[in-house]
Chains A and B, each alone.
Chain A
Amino acid sequence: MAEITLVEAITQALAHEMQKDTDVIVLGEDVAKDGGVFRATVGLLDKFGPERVLDTPLAESMIGGLAVGMAVQGLKPVAEFQFMGFIYPAIDQIINHAARIRNRTRGRLSCPVVFRTPYGAGIHAPEHHSESTEALFAHVPGLRVVIPSSPARAYGLLLAAIRDPDPVIFLEPSRLYRFAKQEVKDNGQALPLDTCFTLRTGDDVTLVTWGAMVKETLSACDRLIEAGIQAEVIDVATIKPLDMETILLSVEKTGRCVIIHEAPLTGGVGAEIAAQIAEKALFLLKAPPVRVTGFDTIVPYSRLEKYYIPSEKRIIDAVHRTMEFT
């Protein structure tokens, strides 16, 4: 079986679910004829036709509201926003409607929609194309926020997101779209939502991360082994709701925790994880939890972006700082 990239895994999941369920509709700007600007929807128009793969007019709030209307009628729209920096006009539709229609009708109506968007820096894109504002959505009751970090998890988590009866924000790290290939069976097997994935086990320190930062975190983990430090690496994957159980169990074992995310420091999801660790496991800690994150700046344009994205070195340095506590 051929190995595929993360973006190909997205396409594979969409095609699989569209084949299985005629309620699944793909919509967005340039998703039909062009197959999406990252080619995530390539080939779907030919396979499923123009009634199920829709090139929308260019209006993001419309994409959000249209998808809400479809989903409340029982369709399963998978709406693409071209980049995370362009999702903001749809925030009214996502927060005021998608996230709360089940609650505000006391369960009579629901909104099984997936809002997909590429996110993150590191692809030398123009301004507004490199955002990591996942914490905005993680703050909103009624939403799920899901972030894959490998082709296999992209496939399994997207299937799960489409099948989930509630709205899901599905953030695809654009830096990883074509970074690595992996064998991904097209077997329709979804992965569980609301749960972390432990990618490496180790007893010395817990590294908690998600999205594109899984790449730097895993390479840091390899370097740490050379230095005799066994790190446990947790890919959070669903940042809302948070699976703190897995994180806490690991931190109880290691007593040390470094949280790594590309998004800015202040008010990031790392703050929530650190707060919960402090509330529930403070006295099991050997060192204070540390965050390695993007800076509290506007994400820089392409020439400086590599200094913004947390590097392997920054992660390793942070781990060494936590190891100084005994």
Chain B
Amino acid sequence: MKIIERFEIPYYQFLNENSQIADEFPLIAENKQVLPVLYQLMVLVRMLDAKAIALQRTGKLGTYPSTRGQEAVFVGIGHALAKKDVYIPYYRDVGSLLQRGVTFSQILQYWGGDERGNFFNPESEDFPHSVPVGSQPLHAVGVGYAIKYRHQQRAVMVTCGDGATSQGDFYEALNVAGAWQLPVVFVVCNNQWAISVSRQVQTAAHTLAQKAIAAGIVGEQIDGNDIIAVQHRTAEALKVARENYQPRLLEMVCYRQHDHTTADDASRYEPKDLREVEWKKEPIARLRVYLEKLGIWNEAKEAALLADCAKKVDQEVKDYFDLKAQSLVSMFDYLYATLPSAYAEQRDILKQMEMVDHG
């Protein structure tokens, strides 16, 4: 017997839970312009998220999947993306979507039961929220193929959760991305839970990053509570995707600091105190202490930020409440480029209902 292949999975953490920076760190860890921007965005995302949960609890929003505790993952990857890249989210991606020009009121609109929340903006090539778990990595390889076919210098990034890595589609996407060398960055937000099924029950694999290995691509594990590591590793992965058309899998290790969605009750399955233990690693306080050490953050700035975020939250909620309802016939109007005449009669039924409503 001889060993014909060996594999390694690197782990990246630059800022640890005690806000200590590693000996060797990337340039971004010294960037006094960018770090506060990331911090402010994470604080805003947490506040928006809390508001969304409150809106659901008071009957003003449908089921909503919280992003609490996962702010560094989405703010970090969203910051690393370039405007020209294509983004394919799953459904916890508030921090990245905000940086793609999507407003929080649109995110509320989506979870509030209005398709227009997926419209984003007319120029956007980004995909809408994806609910069928693990199906969207395949879209990323299709987009990646189009990018490579057209010889463009851009990349596509797709996100999913830890549960999605058990789906065949997830592996099929990694496999073809490797076989065809496509410019795709796969991001797994490993928040330790797929509704009630823990990461340990999901797979015997020690890391999710190692799922890249069978596909012949690079996989890395990253401390998803360290936004410096998240931003840096994602930026690197996007660079090799854009310049060399190489795919990469990034596993962001974090913790879901809320129920799966507002329809879930994690007390049925989550070990008592675990959330609290994990809270010590959460990303926002860790960065704040570091910023204070760098001398670029203080109490006064914090107070001003919280006031500003509260104002923004109010405005987004107001925009959400102010939205006019869609017409009933909109059900038919985006079904096909041109509605086949076979469906005109059914559309007329809705038109009649609309006239009665308004009459």
Contacts and interface: CB of A to CB of B under 8 A. Distances in A.
Contacts, number: 137
Interface stretch (B227-235, B313-321, B335-343): B335-343
Give the most central of A69, A108, A242: most B CB within 10 Å.
A69
Interface in B331-354: 333-337, 340-343
Interface in A96-145: 96-97, 101-110, 141-142
Interface in B103-149: 115-116, 118-120, 122, 124-125, 127-128, 132, 135, 137-147, 149
What does DSSP make chain B's interface, helix, strand, loop or mixed? helix
Contacts of A109: 125, 127-128
Contact of A66 (B122, B141, B342): B141
A106 B135 contact: no
Interface residues of B, number: 42
B176 interface: yes
B67 interface: no
Contacts of A69: 138-146
A165 interface: yes
B172 interface: yes
Interface in B183-227: none
A103 B339 CA distance: 12
Contacts of A61: 138, 168-169, 172
A225 interface: no
B176 A141 contact: no
A276 B215 CA distance: 51
A93 interface: yes
A36 interface: no
Contact of B138 (A25, A74, A93): A93
A68 B139 contact: yes
Contacts of A142: 335-336
B342 A241 contact: yes
Given A103-B115, A108-B120, A142-B335, A62 B173 contact: yes
A155 B173 CA distance: 33
Contacts of A25: 149
Contacts of A57: 172, 175-176, 179
Contact of A62 (B124, B147, B169): B169
A76 B119 CA distance: 22
A96 B146 contact: no
Which of the four size classes fits the interface of chain A?
35 or more
A244 B140 CA distance: 39
Interface string A39-70: 00000000000010000110101101111111
Contact of A102 (B138, B168, B335): B335
A316 interface: no
Contacts of B86: 73
Given A66-B142, A68-B138, A97-B139, A194 B337 contact: no
A78 B2 CA distance: 45
Contacts of A96: 132, 135
A94 to B, nearest CB: 11
B245 to A, nearest CB: 13
Contacts of A102: 334-337
Contact of B139 (A65, A103, A244): A65
B146 A75 contact: yes
Given A62-B173, A65-B173, A70 B142 contact: yes
A166 B125 CA distance: 17
Contact of B132 (A51, A92, A245): A92
A72 interface: yes
Contacts of A165: 336-337
B335 A103 contact: yes
A67 B142 contact: yes
A51 B176 contact: no
Contacts of A93: 135, 138
Interface string B28-45: 000000000000000000
Nearest to A142: B335
B342 A141 contact: no
A23 to B, nearest CB: 9
Nearest to B149: A51
Nearest to A276: B342
Nearest to A106: B119
A71 interface: yes
Contact of B143 (A73, A164, A242): A73
Interface of B: 86, 115-116, 118-120, 122, 124-125, 127-128, 132, 135, 137-147, 149, 168-169, 172-173, 175-176, 179, 330, 333-337, 340-343
* 10 interchain residue pairs of minimum CB distance: A69-B142, A65-B138, A73-B146, A241-B342, A62-B172, A241-B340, A69-B139, A165-B337, A70-B142, A59-B172
